[in-house]
Structure 1
Amino acid sequence: MPPISLFFYVTTCAILLFSRQTSSTSITTTTQRFKEAPKFYNSHTCGSNAVHVAMTLDVAYLRGSMAAILSVLQHSSCPENIIFHFLTAASKPSSAVILNRTLTTSFPYLNFQIYPFHDDTVSGLISTSIRSALDCPLNYARSYLANILPHCITKVVYLDSDLVLVDDIAKLAATPLGPDAVLAAPEYCSANFSAYFTPSFWSNPSLSLVFANRRLCYFNTGVMVIDLQRWRSGDYTTVIQEWMELQKRMRIYELGSLPPFLLVFAGRIAPVDHRWNQHGLGGDNFHGLCRDLHPGPVSLLHWSGKGKPWARLDADRPCPLDALWAPYDLLENPFALVA
């Protein structure tokens, strides 16, 4: 059962949290079998403040998601205060059943809720990008979090599935957003910002002037702290959709769901230390070549890009940094004896 304070919160917020026990130590999906994770307990200093974490969840990236969840819990001082919100494809109800059963078996005490994301909401707005994985409708679900999550949830940490934390997520969740920022993320102002948009965008003043008087800094949407109240007040889901509709009429950007976020929020976000998104560890979007960490401390490792650590480990062609992901892998050895 969740802690009393969280249970009260959940009751008043009308959210059903799943905290289940099971005697099974593994779960069978269509292709994968996962071990049961250990239970992690709150320290004596924990209060009643919940930390809300949102992620997308599908069978294709399930192995990465399981590792990410484990890393969040393992490094949290107050793991029982963390509430996960998972968005799954509504068009695949059978997958949602598998995902729910996998979570409740591998994480019997996990506080979570699964929300169906209706693919048709965005499928007609998606333009092909440089990598097919970026064109999956679920990749756009982060733009709809404020609409999907209950309105009593005012702040959420959004995480991709191809990352692990090595620090307490409560520190990231506590990022101050200042008086008017809608979201916070690490910024990378030395990145080639213009490369995310087409020449036709930059040559059209009615479009490119959207960036007038703004500092053009790239940020990765795989790690964000979002003020959902401010997002709803500004109706930013509609603003992002409008850019996607324009993209369908005249191609103005590349790379999937990222550019609409840049169009709306670049130069207007609250900064986060780079340690919270050591991104690009998956290599580029074409070859997935090995990359090193950025200079500085590390709180979160992110295998954004084509190469995923589980795929490279399975192929016996890992990059050196993939060894840092492996300890969080809950996939059961397929050759292990089953009692």
Structure 2
Amino acid sequence: MAMHVALTFDDNFWAPAYATMRSVCLFTHRRPELVFHLMHRTLTAEHRADLEKIRDEFPVELRFYDLDQSEMFRDIAARMPENKRLSNIVYARLLIDRLVGPDVTRVLYLDCDMLVRDDIGALFDLDLEGNAIGAVRDPAGALITGQRDLLKNRDIFDPADPYFNAGLVLIDVAQWREADIVGRMEAAHASGVMQRIYYDQDLLNLIFKRRWLKLPWRWNVVDARPAHDGIDPAIVHYTGETKPWSVFAHTFGSVAFARVYRHVMTNELFYRFARHRWKRWWKKKLGLGR
């Protein structure tokens, strides 16, 4: 049975996307079953070629989706609140059911700032017990929704309701489609709710309230620090400001599995990505674009 994995990213995140994909491949024996759905924008031919090299090492299938050619995505990205740090690519996962083919009935969505350390086959085969999705509870959920003193948006969220991190979502595609996520987002935008909440993650928590299966914590360990090295997380999620490709991660040991991550990305790509980020930083400083 095919294991469908979806990632969303723009050209500035092509190397982390590769690292996440390669970590999935490295830590499963079911490599021939893997189908990666790569939903991207602004991807250069050079960086697409880097992603395609994964097939030289593993017997996987790659399906590319150019969101720059999607009128629906361009419309949503232009109108919805913009995430300055993550870019409007965050809205791409909401379109998964509209992008994947009819052969896909279940898909595992992964953020591209993740390192997989265990066999996702065990996760992919889980019984969702009738729920639309499976996800891991976010330890900072009440703070994300309520913010200072947990008082904000109390008319929208109840802090007593479990809140999941949407960096990993195991999706029943039929129920995802039935939820009419894009329609619900349009309604939330018209009512002013989208302008008040934390982008698509909050929206998904509203749509799938009490309709999600709580997965074991080890499948999405957020803000992964060195202390997490010893508790054997299945997936580490680098949600903090310091990422494993940052020089500070290696100099000060501030994130979990930083050395492992570098070699999962591969040394060659790791240093090429560092040069890409350095050039981008200088362009911003000099006002020469993003």
Alignment TM-score, normalising by the size of structure 2: 0.79
Is 1:216 matched up with 2:158?
no
- Match of 2:242, SS? coil
Listed as ranges, the matches of 1:197-208 within 5 Å are 197=146, 201-202=153-154, 204=155, 207=156
1:124 CA drift (Å): 3.0
2:70 matched to 1:125? no
Cα 1:151/1:247, change in 2 over 3 Å: farther
- SS in structure 1 at match of 2:10: coil
Q: Distance in 2 between matches of 1:71 and 1:149?
A: 22
The amino acid of 1:99's aligned partner reads: H
Give runs of ≥4 in structure 1 deviating > 6 Å. none
| Alignment partner of 1:239 out of 174, 184, 198 | 184
Superposed displacement of residue 240, structure 1: 3.0
Say which SS state the counterpart of residue 166 (structure 2) adopts. coil
Contact kept? 2:189, 2:195, Cα under 8 Å: no
Alignment partners' CA distance in 1, 2:177 and 2:141: 30
Q: How does 1:1-339 map to 2 (within 5 A)?
A: 49-89=1-41, 92=42, 95-108=43-56, 109-117=59-67, 118=70, 119-129=73-83, 132-134=84-86, 136-179=87-130, 181-188=131-138, 191-193=140-142, 195-197=144-146, 201-202=153-154, 204=155, 207=156, 216-247=161-192, 251-253=195-197, 255-281=198-224, 292-293=227-228, 296-312=231-247, 316-321=251-256, 322-332=258-268
Q: Give the SS at the match of 1:325.
A: helix
Give the 3 Å change call, closer, same or farther, for CA 294–125 of structure 1 in structure 2.
farther
Alignment-mate amino acid for residue 4 of structure 2: H
Query: Counting helix residues as a fraction of each chain, which structure ranks higher?
Result: 2
Letter in 1 for 2:88: P
Q: Which amino acid aligns with 2:16?
A: G
Aligned counterparts of 2:229 and 2:54: Cα–Cα separation in 1 = 33
Is the Cα–Cα contact under 8 Å of residues 280 and 291 in structure 1 kept in the other structure?
A: no
Identity, in percent, stands at: 20
1:329 aligned partner, one-letter code = M
The Cα offsets for residues 306-338 of structure 1, whole Å up to 9 and x where unpaired, read as 221102358844425223422312241759xxx
Q: Is the 8 A contact 2:2 2:34 kept in 1?
A: yes
CA spacing shift, 1:331–1:110, aligned 2, 3 Å? farther
Distance, in Å, in 2 between the alignment partners of 1:314 and 1:275 is 21
> Following the alignment from structure 1 to structure 2, what is the Cα–Cα distance between the partners of residues 242 and 197?
22
Q: Structure 1, unaligned stretches of length 5 or more?
A: 1-48, 282-289
Q: Aligned partners of 1:201, 1:301: CA distance in 2, in Å? A: 29
Q: Deviations over 1:167-202 (max 9, x none)?
A: 1111111121112x11101124x6452642575632
Distance 1:260 1:125, change over 3 A: farther
CA contact (8 A) 1:139 1:257 kept: yes
Structure 2: unaligned runs, 5 residues or longer: 273-290
- Measure how far apart 1:294 and its partner are: 9.2
Q: Which amino acid aligns with 1:327?
A: H
Equivalent in the alignment of 1:8 = none
Deviation at 1:299, TM superposition (A): 0.8
Structure 1 letter corresponding to 2:142: F
State the 1:220 CA deviation. Answer: 0.9
Give the CA RMSD over aligned residues: 2.8
Distance 1:247 1:308 in 2: 33
Give, as a single letter, the amino acid of the residue that structure 2 aligns with 1:74: L
Q: Distance between the aligned counterparts of 1:222 and 1:99, measured in 2?
A: 23
Q: Which amino acid aligns with 1:60?
A: N
Out of 96-105 and 222-231, give the one that drifted further: 96-105
Kept after mapping to 2: 8 A contact 1:127/1:247:
no
CA contact (8 A) 1:54 1:159 kept: yes
Structure 1: which amino acid aligns with 2:52? T
The structure number with the bigger radius of gyration is: 1
Distance 1:82 1:195, change over 3 A: closer
Count how many residue pairs are aligned between Structure 1 and Structure 2: 261
Q: Secondary structure at the match of 1:53?
A: strand
